[in-house]
A and B are shown apart, each in its own frame.
Chain A
Amino acid sequence: MFASVTSRIALQTRSTLVQRFYTTGAGVNTLLYVEHKDGAISGATLNALTAAKKLGGSVTALVAGEAPEGVAKEVAKLEGVSKVLTAKDAAYAHALPEDIAPLLAEVQAKNGFTHLITGHTAGGKNVFPRAAALLDVAAISDITAIESEDTFVRPIYAGNAIATVKTNDKVKVITVRGTAFEAASATQDAAPEEVVSSSEKLGLTQWEGEEIQKSDRPDLGSAKRVISGGRGMKNGENFKLLYDLADKIGAAVGASRAAVDAGFVDNSLQVGQTGKIVAPELYIAVGISGAIQHLAGMKDSKTIVAINKDADAPIFQVADYGLVDDLFKAVPELTEKISK
């Protein structure tokens, strides 16, 4: 309490030039919830950290897990993290929301954080609204920009409208669209660590297991290049055409909902409103018509290429380069000519 008052006074006495850069910083005290798996920090957490830094003020990171020590050490080295809280308990092993949400709420209550922030991932979406309800505040999902400490920009209607919302709540609970913010990087000096705990562990749900799709290709959410296939691929075997091209240019492979529903590829590859949101430098859509729900997941890509034999497919309206051709001829030709 005293600390935040002092820092506010200190800020006020600085030059006006400095104040201009810190217009939103006074009193802001952010908790970053770190998602991690198999000892590695989730990429989306690094994007969320950049968003947290934009709020101004200090950023404290929370690492919860069965053995959070290793990840906490890495998090402490991230630029902009001023303190790392670790919560070690077997109950936190699989980030089950029934146990993580009360931890977040309790850590917030004890430390008076003004903002809770994390990535808008399957994990972030699962935990944060529950924590918001426990704090009796609104949750603000999938923000793409920060206007000030209480005003945020977020897409609605599958990205067909952009809303600017201001919250009247004391605590702001926010998930961040990863592709809208750069990833934060590591620095030299490690931030201090502190152990925290929560009294409330509901233990309602048991984690049974998981099936993760293994791939040597880059992660879909953060890849610089993405090649996606749709219904036009006709079957799962034909996706090999895309894998060949992807391997040649170091791209990740994605898919439309039609391709996933038809069983061509695993649903974790779905790009769109209800799947992954990507914004790579190059997005190649192959045999994808370009439904509203698919465009929602890729239309912020820098360069979009469409290969489709239907010249009227809506995908051509957003494509920087459209090729009207049979994909079974054009894709192998593209793979061959790119390798030259």
Chain B
Amino acid sequence: MSNPLRIFVPVKRVVDYAVKVRVNATKTDVDRNVKHSMNPFDEIAVEEAVRIKEKSPKTEVVAISCGTTKSQETLRTALAMGADRAVHIEVKDDSTLEPLAVAKLLKALADKEANKPDLFILGKQAIDDDASQTGQMLAGLLKWPQTTFASKVDINDKSLKVVREIDGGLETVSTKLPAVITTDLRLNEPRYASLPNIMKAKKKPLVKFTPEDLGVDISPRLQTLKVEEPPKRAGGRKVESVDELVDKLRNEAKVL
């Protein structure tokens, strides 16, 4: 038996996917006084790590979140799903964390650990900034292989085979650990945390660091000048029949 795997899973607290966001009055951001939850792609990442652990029980799964104090709720959710311990990299309430800063924090954390992680599993994108950058940046900084948009992951000892979702279909790549994976929607179906597991999660260890502890400069490189509502569509018209639809498309919209 080879050495047990150590999997790091970064998770982000975001506005819940079902919330219809609104731009705030000052047009600087969206209204954040709404329900938040774990980024859906990150749930898939936690689930995948926990499944790997279920196959080889010595695996250690570490959930990490960079953000304000409230990120700890998201970490507890990951612990309730089956992560072993959590690391909270705490920033001040008004800090903006960009993907490059998060990637640097994660790299610094990996460097700090006495036992290095073998694998990072991240979501392919956060549904708030829609950037789709952090995993790739982290892999670049670590000089590790990256297998992004994964829809199937096979780990056999230290080798990794991943089926990736690409434009037009699927692609298979293989590599060696250590590596970075980012998850696509179809990788798995995340479990719900049961009440006993939620209770147990409260006792699991959670350690805190600050960016200063890790020696990382998180100053933003981008400045958001304004945030606006997208242009409204004048939709909502109904037609009575297929005949009327064909007529409108031909003679009014002129798209047929």
Contacts and interface: CB of A to CB of B under 8 A. Distances in A.
Contacts of A325: 242
A129 B133 contact: yes
A225 interface: yes
A204 B142 CA distance: 12
A281 B255 contact: yes
B230 interface: yes
Given A205-B145, A338-B256, A274 B185 contact: yes
Interface in B124-173: 124-125, 127-141, 143-149, 151, 161, 164-173
Given A161-B23, A165-B222, A210-B169, A130 B130 contact: no
A198 interface: no
Interface in A76-108: 94, 96-98, 101
Interface string B7-37: 0000000010110110100000010000000
A186 interface: no
Contacts of B236: 316-319, 322
B169 A321 contact: no
Describe B's contact surface by its main secondary structure: mixed
B98 interface: yes
Contact of A208 (B172, B225, B248): B172
Contact of B127 (A137, A158, A204): A158
Contacts, number: 255
A203 B137 CA distance: 18
Range class of the A interface residue count = 35 or more
A167 B98 CA distance: 12
Contact of A123 (B140, B167, B237): B167
A133 interface: yes
Contacts of A131: 140
A167 B220 CA distance: 9
Interface of A: 94, 96-98, 101, 121-123, 125-134, 136-142, 151, 155-169, 202, 204-213, 221, 225, 249, 257, 260-261, 266-268, 273-274, 276, 281-282, 292-293, 299, 302-305, 311, 316-325, 330, 333-334, 337-338
Contact of A207 (B98, B143, B173): B173
19 contacts: A97-B146, A121-B167, A123-B166, A129-B135, A156-B30, A160-B20, A164-B224, A165-B222, A166-B225, A202-B145, A210-B172, A268-B165, A276-B167, A282-B249, A299-B233, A319-B235, A320-B234, A320-B253, A337-B246
Given A160-B21, A209-B171, A210-B166, A319 B141 contact: no
Contacts of A318: 233, 235-236
A286 to B, nearest CB: 12
Contacts of B176: 204
Nearest to B255: A282
A206 B173 contact: yes
